[in-house]
Amino acid sequence: MSEYTRRDVLKDSAALASAAIATTVPWPLLGAQQQFRFGYAAITWGGNDRQAMADVEAVGFPGIQLRTAAVDAFGDRPAELKELLARHRLTMVALSSGNLGIDPALEADEMARHTRNARFVRDVGGLYLQIIDTRPKRAITAADYGAMGRRLTELGRRTADVGIPLGYHHHMGSLGEAPDEIERILNAADPRYVKLELDVAHYLQGGGDPVAAIKKYSAQILFLHLKDVETRTPDAGQVPPRPYRFVELGRGRVDLPGVMRALADVRFSGWVVVELDAVPDNARSPKEAAELNRRYVTERLKQTI
């Protein structure tokens, strides 16, 4: 990895400032009204959760979202992970538990796995379980959305019995990709057991307006992914070709100031998890990318972390 120099930091700061000037309009500071807390997603570290926890603490975020690599590493000794989180002064906001489909042949195994993961979250002292829905590899029918809503409801009942709320994470490439698809699934699900984990970048890339989504689903949002996405030419040989890329906050097309205003308007009081799937610039480390994201949140969005 190339050395990250002071010149790089200044260049990145200038880029963030330019992006903010281009996309923001004056609005009241929310510091006195802010009722939500910020976490950071460990996905950027590619499964190295110990380093992720150390870096997230060092950057200053009080919460972290982990993936199933944490279950692989600590599944038989959750107390060890709980102690490690406490040592880093981190709340485990959520566990990304993987995918849930509507294939009857896979139902028993998927339900059992995600319910075990919910128990793991509980034993670690975490808050939520995240689920992404699987898009069937065939032509989609109207009945599929109802089936997914019912399947999510059943899983949500089981995780509720464990004491862990279920967050449905719509996603590019999933059954719930476009806004109308997300709505169909949520309409078929029982809101007592299935909450929405709104990802503002995926929602925009799927064809929706994240600001409008916050207002529409304000009563159903469990927590958010604060994320940005840019349009780009797919890399040669990329399968499937992806005409977009997730980037550091302020470098993409998401109206992030508008998102913050909408959260204040609906009096959202949950967790906001900053997420970056992978560092776009190979010369930068996950921690350095997290520092850029933190700077954008505090300096441009005027939020307290």
pLDDT in tens, 248-287: 999 999 999 999 999 999 999 999 999 999 999 989 999 9
Nearest CA among 290, 301, 251, 284 for reference residue 39: 290
Give the pLDDT band of residue 1 (cuts 50, 70, 90).
very low
What are the pLDDT digits (tens) for 17-75?
Answer: 444 333 333 333 334 455 789 999 999 999 999 999 999 999 999 999 999 999 999 99
What are the pLDDT digits (tens) for 64-106?
Answer: 999 999 999 999 999 999 999 999 999 999 999 999 999 999 9
Rounded to whole angstroms, how far apart are CA atoms 175 and 182? 8
Rounded to whole angstroms, how far apart are CA atoms 23 and 21? 6
Rounded to whole angstroms, how far apart are CA atoms 168 and 257? 24
Enter the tokens of residue 211: 């600001």
User: Which residues partner with 271 through β-bridges?
Assistant: 37, 223
Q: Give me the domains of the chain, ranges plus CATH numbers.
A: 29-300 (3.20.20.150)
Kindly report the pTM of this predicted structure: 0.87
DSSP at 152: H
Q: Which residue has the tokens 């996603």?
A: 171
Question: Whole-angstrom distance between the N-terminal and C-terminal Cα of the chain?
Answer: 29
